[in-house]
Chain A
Amino acid sequence: MKNNSISSSQIQILLLVLAGILLLGLGIWFGKGHNSPPMMVADEFPSATVLEVPVPLLQFSLNDHIGKLFTPDNFMRKWTFIFFGYTHCPDVCPTALVDMNNIYHDLAEKDELIEKMFGVGTQFVFITVDPERDTVSELREYVPFFNKHFIGLTGDADMIDSIARPLGIAYRRVPGKDAEKDYLVDHSASILLIDPLGRMRAVFSPPHVPKTIAADFRNIRKKYTEECCISGDEKTETVIFDYRKEKK
């Protein structure tokens, strides 16, 4: 009898300990961010949501506005600002491109387009969400109007999906007021920052203040360029990264 009651209280303690371990384990499992939003660095960058763990992109192949191929390789050893839009968009898209032009000049005026330590450049990319109307020649007229160094990208709808989805860019075609071909395209209006290993590192949500974005970009670049350049061999591996492996 006595032994029995002792052992049942021992079982209770054992159960409690087991439950504790289970809860702890669950806590760690959830804390690891299984399917949770990427970890962010708060406060340090007022205009940006910076991803502590950069988001890898999917393989894609697009054409730039002079018809050259643009693949994830084109992200390597450069910081890249990206905006998604379409040329039949006279309000939001020109505003964002003018903002990107102001960011460009903020850097260019101080000769800061190229990062000094590793010689990593900066590029600005406009990707159409309306490939049906925005052909290469359409983009050739449109994109350089804002800055002759900017790159416009178009291609198959599937390919545009491939690059847009991991970046969290949503877009949707909606009918216009009149004729069927006058459709509009709703789209996310964030400016995205891709790191020199072709991974999304930061998101700048609208409204955009070019000066603040440029200042944040300098700090992001200072903080993260090195980790992208030290493992120089990985650049040939292109984009489909397992960041867990990389973080080791």
Chain B
Amino acid sequence: MKKSLNVSLIFILLHLFSSAHAHQQVSVDNAWVRSAPPGADVLAAYMIIKNKSEETITLTGVSGSMFGRIEIHRTEMHEGMMKMIPQESMSVPAGGSVTLEPGGFHLMLIGPKTVPKEGEEIDLLLQFSNGHSQRIKVPVKADKNKGGVMEEHGHH
């Protein structure tokens, strides 16, 4: 009984280690969805995507069962107006990272089945050009102030 417990523990540890290893080329930190009014038709998700590999990795798509559609957007100032520009993909340079943050890159979560409340989590699946895909849990947070994103610590 004790022995089998030990064996399964080792299995679990091994599994944790190997999945951590598989994730090592891409890591996602500080992910959050901005809490929105109950009737919201669109939400935005922010995060930092790190690429620890030696090649550029491209985020090609994002999906989530809670949403009708998810687009990669970038907000830019253009002719004096703020403009959201849908992106086909988003590249993360080798050994670098891309920050999705208010006023810049964001994931545009369109047509939520229900609008998640502050404190809840949503599931997203990030798909990368190298065939890698990563499932992430993203907490819903109120954006109290600008520094909010930076002050948060990543969850693992």
Find chain A residues with CB under 8 A from B108 CB: 90-91
**Is the Cβ of A182 less than 8 Å from the Cβ of B110?**
yes
CA distance A99 to B42 in the complex (A): 20
Asked whether A170 is an interface residue with its Cβ less than 8 Å from the other chain, the reply is yes
Chain B residues whose C-beta falls within 8 Å of the C-beta of A89 in the assembled complex:
42, 84
Q: Are B78 and A186 in contact (CB under 8 A)?
A: yes
Residues of A within 8 A of B120 (CB): none
- Residues of A contacting B103 in the complex (Cβ-Cβ under 8 angstroms): 91-92, 95, 206-207
Measured between beta carbons, the chain B residues less than 8 angstroms from A210 are: 145
Which residue numbers of B lie inside 8 Å of A, CB to CB? 34, 36-44, 69, 71, 73, 75, 77-84, 86, 102-103, 106, 108-110, 143-146
Q: B44 touches which one: A90, A174, A184, A206 (CB < 8 A)?
A: A90
Indicate with 1 or 0, residue by residue over A200-219, a CB within 8 angstroms of chain B CB atoms.
00000011011000000000
A178–B146 Cα gap in the complex (Å)? 31
Residues of B within 8 A of A119 (CB): none
Q: Is A98 an interface residue (CB 8 A)?
A: yes
A102 touches B86 (CB 8 A): no
**Are A178 and B69 in touch, CB under 8 angstroms?**
yes
Given A206-B103, A207-B103 in contact, is the A141-B81 Cβ separation under 8 Å?
no
| Dominant secondary structure of chain B at its interface with chain A | strand
Whether A174 contacts B83 by the Cβ 8 Å rule is yes
Q: How many A-B residue pairs have CB under 8 A?
A: 86
Residues from chain B with a CB closer than 8 A to the CB of A172 are 81
Q: How far is the CA of A177 from the CA of B78 in the complex (A)?
A: 18
Binary CB contact string for chain A from 151 to 177 against chain B (1 if under 8 A, 0 otherwise): 000000000000000000011101011
A92 and B80 contact, CB distance less than 8 A: no
- Establish whether residues A187 and B82, one from each chain, have CB atoms under 8 Å apart when the complex forms: yes
Of all chain B residues, the one with the shortest Cβ separation from A97 is: B143
Q: Counting CB contacts under 8 A, is A63 at the interface?
A: no
**Can you list the 10 inter-chain pairs with the closest CB atoms, starting with the nearest?**
A90-B44, A145-B37, A186-B81, A177-B86, A141-B39, A189-B82, A186-B83, A95-B102, A90-B42, A92-B82
Contact A95 B143 (CB under 8 A): yes
19 contacts between A and B (CB under 8 A): A88-B42, A90-B43, A90-B106, A90-B109, A91-B84, A91-B102, A92-B84, A92-B103, A95-B102, A141-B38, A142-B37, A170-B81, A177-B71, A182-B110, A187-B81, A187-B82, A188-B80, A189-B77, A206-B82
Inside 8 A of A92's CB, which chain B residues have their CB?
Answer: 75, 82, 84, 102-103
Question: How far, in whole Å, are A182 and B37 apart by their CA atoms in the complex?
Answer: 19
Q: List residues of chain B with CB within 8 A of the CB of A95.
A: 102-103, 143
Q: How far, in Å, is B138 (CB) from chain A's closest CB?
A: 14
Question: Given known contacts A95-B103, A142-B40, A186-B83, what 14 new A-B pairs fall within 8 Å (CB)?
Answer: A87-B40, A87-B41, A90-B36, A90-B42, A92-B75, A94-B36, A94-B102, A102-B145, A141-B39, A170-B81, A182-B110, A184-B84, A186-B82, A188-B80
- Set of chain A residues within 8 Å of B106, measured between Cβ atoms: 90-91
